[in-house]
Amino acid sequence: MPAHESTTTSLMVPTGAEVVLRVLEEQGVEVIFGYPGGAVLPIYDALFERKTIRHILVRHEQAAVHAAEAYARSTGKVGVVLVTSGPGATNAVTGLTDAKMDSIPIVCLTGQVPVPLIGKDAFQEADVVGITSPVTKKSTLVRDPAELAPTLREAFELARSGRPGPVLVDLPKNITVSEAPLPPAPQKSAAAPAKESVDEAAIARAVDAMKKAKKPLFYTGGGVINAGDEASDLLRELAKRTGFPVTSTLMGLGAFPASNDHFLGMLGMHGAVEANMAAHDCDVLIALGARFDDRVTGRVDGFSPHSFKIQADIDPREFGKIIPSDVKLQGDLKATLKALLAAWGDTKPSDLSAWWQDIAAWRAINGFGYEQGKDAKASIKPQHAVRRLYELSKKTGRDTFVSTEVGQHQMWAAQFFGFDAPRHWLTSGGLGTMGYGLPAAEGVQVAHPDALVIDIAGEASTLMNIQELGTIVQYRLPVKIFILNNHYLGMVRQWQELVHNSRYSQSYSDALPDFVKLAEAFGIKGLRATTLGELDSTIEAMLAHDGPVLVDVHVTEEESCYPMIPSGATHDQMLLGSGKVVGGAELTEEGKRLV
């Protein structure tokens, strides 16, 4: 056969690398976050002249997953990651674990050594499936080119369906360079979509309890956001019709407007006094897409001890895992909220005036209170810095997204930055991953190029993935990095102060970089505020700049984050900054030591 005929024939059958990209296009993928290496070079070569998929070159594979997480969280789409074999794949494990804990839909494509070399300690070989299976919904090694397209299609379906989460596909190099079949995608049925099923008897029991409630409370979580924007709209309507107050987990912020009078704020270890006291004293607790995380419940046997508990979740494994529920509403949360609204109907809200009076009294305690000096030379309280950032960014009228790192600044951001819409708050909840916020901000900015994207950060967490400043510059992402710099691992210091008699073992950093010079070294505008008089003008300069900015805000070093529920305590045993115990309940011995 002449050479030109052989070439023509080979071009008619795609390689595995081409199949990968065609399936991604078929799935509507527009962006990949990745880092190349030898095992995935065939895919990168196939990507070279493609115009349909944009690739963002991160500086570390962990950052690729965090960026994809935030892209997914802020858009509702599946985030896609492409990394090489061995260390490329193992560097992604932290991000995959983070996505699993927070139910974020990710498809991670990893390179692998050729199939014949697997198990022979080849260069950059790692048992990626074995390593990642516990932290993904599914991890699959493709051993046959015929398995490639079906495996990739299944990965996307699995990532986005049910309770979302990360799925990994491990791609040996010989699979991506070999010819591979690309069967047509399965046709979706043209028939009417199946009716969203709900347990009508369980809905009836739930609504009956809600109608009889004297002290009801909606306890909402990240599952409301994962269920789509319509679920947030339905939640608002349900709160309006019932007149019930609403509280939220860290991951659920934005599902219900912070500016709504019915919103009590975040509950949990560093939650609002009114939210925690309402959770403790309520007689009917309606948990919507929330998993009773230990940072929310405090001491499990004392959590909401007087309430009839209604739990709605898409994942049946969550029922009774931590807190027993009296009514279980399993299924898609949108369908559940629609059914609750239908069953409630035109019922007039009960007289909850006494309950709202209790809530008003708890609000008056002002658990988030702090004392900010008024002199222009006064040191900056971190709470005040976040509050002014919120107020000044709101004045811009821009669509604003906030990512955070992990620590005290994360809690202050949750306490003092209000969110009125879902998908605008990006944080690491379940895993608590330092280094999440900076790559998350770049992922959000890629998804929303015209939005105002701010990473509220601590100096220690910022350094975890500081190399991503290079990605921000390369792709001209106008991300704003707002560092609350107290020289400490702040939350570690706070616990050392309260629990370990102020023995600050390895929690102080006295060799920090000059963040302004560091930003400028990357080609980013650097600003600094060290006193109260400099704060507002520095924030305004940051917001006015049309490119990326890093702001180094020097805040009071030994400020602690309150309220705080001590370990082993209940929601009516919160500590305030003054040392006062809210509720006056008897503390555990550990709680007494903290006071």
Instruction: Tell me the catalytic residues.
Output: 61, 123-124, 173, 491
Is 415 within 8 Å of 447 (Cβ atoms)? no
Q: How many other β-carbons are positioned within 10 Å of the β-carbon of residue 537?
A: 11
Is 155 within 8 Å of 140 (Cβ atoms)? yes
Helix-strand-coil percent breakdown of the chain, rounded to 5? 40, 15, 40
Instruction: Dihedral sign for Cα 78, 232, 327, 196, please.
Output: negative
Q: Please, what's the b/e burial string for 55-77 (b: 16 or more CB within 10 A of its CB; e: otherwise)?
A: bbebbbbbbbbbbbbbbbbbbbb
Is 417 within 8 Å of 429 (Cβ atoms)? no
- What lies within 8 Å, CB to CB, of 53 at 6+ separation is 21, 24, 25, 29, 30, 31, 32, 47
Using CA atoms, how far apart are residues 12 and 217, in angstroms rounded to an integer?
61
User: Considering only CA atoms, which of 487, 208, 234 is closest in space to residue 343?
Assistant: 208
User: Considering only CA atoms, which of 292, 273, 289, 293 is closest in space to residue 281?
Assistant: 273
**31 sits in which H/E element:** strand 31-35
435 conformational bin, left if phi > 0, alpha if psi -120 to 50, beta if neither: left
Is 104 within 8 Å of 73 (Cβ atoms)? yes
- If DSSP codes are grouped into helix, strand and coil, which group holds residue 132? helix
Phi, psi (5° rounding) for residue 458? Answer: -105, 155
- What lies within 8 Å, CB to CB, of 209 at 6+ separation is 284, 308, 310, 326, 327
Q: How many other β-carbons are positioned within 10 Å of the β-carbon of residue 592?
A: 11
Using CA atoms, how far apart are residues 538 and 536, in angstroms rounded to an integer?
5
Q: Where are the alpha helices (DSSP H) in 213-308?
A: 222-226, 229-242, 273-281, 294-297
- If DSSP codes are grouped into helix, strand and coil, which group holds residue 339? helix
Helix axis angle for 437-447 and 61-75, nearest 10°, is 50
Please write down the HEC assignment for all residues of 42-104.
Answer: HHHHHHCCCCCCEEEECCCHHHHHHHHHHHHHHHCCCEEEEECCCHHHHHCHHHHHHHHHCCC
- Distance of alpha carbon 455 from the chain centroid: 13
- What lies within 8 Å, CB to CB, of 352 at 6+ separation is 214, 215, 216, 243, 244
- If DSSP codes are grouped into helix, strand and coil, which group holds residue 368? coil
User: Considering only CA atoms, which of 513, 555, 558, 550 is closest in space to residue 534?
Assistant: 555
